[in-house]
Structure 1
Amino acid sequence: MTGLLHHSHPWTGREVEDTLTGRRGILRALAPDGDSPRPVAWLRPPGGGTEWTTGPEALANPAPITPHTRPRARKR
């Protein structure tokens, strides 16, 4: 976990496919939604817009890592 009940995920900050909806979005967080303790994936459309949630198991096909999408080093 990384704080605020968020879970770390190697694809955070990258565009991924939500296989349940067929949509692509930026993975913003893996965190609980409401009172449910089970984390969900929070996605935002690449150009901005309303976030949506999906199950972490529905994430697939991450965009390649580029200098712009390279994950940040974790602070220690």
Structure 2
Amino acid sequence: MLHRDHPWIGRDVEDTVTGKRGTLRAIAPEGDKRPQIVAWLQPHGGGTEWTTDPGALADPAPITSDTLPTP
């Protein structure tokens, strides 16, 4: 599926474009004719995912023993 590895997948991050925080779910292509690599984020408590430029990700939540990312 062309997903990319990223050390923040599964962590709470800030999208500096929108100012929103969400869980980074994937770094993957979006689009049919000329796919762009985007970051897929899910809002806290569920809801509609949104995409942003991977370069817009910032301020990841620290990893603690009870917030380990899932493999």
> What corresponds to 2:40 in structure 1?
42
Residues 22 and 42, structure 2, Cα contact 8 Å, conserved in 1: yes
**Larger deviation, residues 64-73 vs 4-13:** 64-73
Residue 8 in structure 1 maps to residue 9 in structure 2? no
Measured after TM superposition, the shift of residue 70 of structure 1 is 1.5
TM-score by length of 2: 0.89
- Which residue pairs with 1:64 in the alignment? 62
Give yes or no for contact 2:10–2:70 (8 Å, CA) kept in 1: no
Structure 2: gaps of 5 or more residues:
none
- The CA RMSD over aligned residues, in Å, is 1.3
Does the 8 Å contact 2:16/2:56 carry over to 1?
yes
Secondary structure of the residue aligned to 1:57 is: helix
- Matched residue, 1:51: 49
Q: CA deviation at 1:56?
A: 0.2
Structure 1: unaligned runs, 5 residues or longer = none
Give the Cα–Cα distance (whole angstroms) in 1 for the partners of residues 49 and 60 of structure 2.
17
2:4 alignment partner AA: H
Number of matched residues? 70
2-structure distance, mates of 1:33, 1:68: 32
Q: In structure 1, which of residues 14, 31, 35 is the aligned counterpart of residue 28 of structure 2?
A: 31
The one-letter code of the counterpart of 2:19 is G
Distance 1:61 1:52 in 2: 18
TM-score by length of 1: 0.83
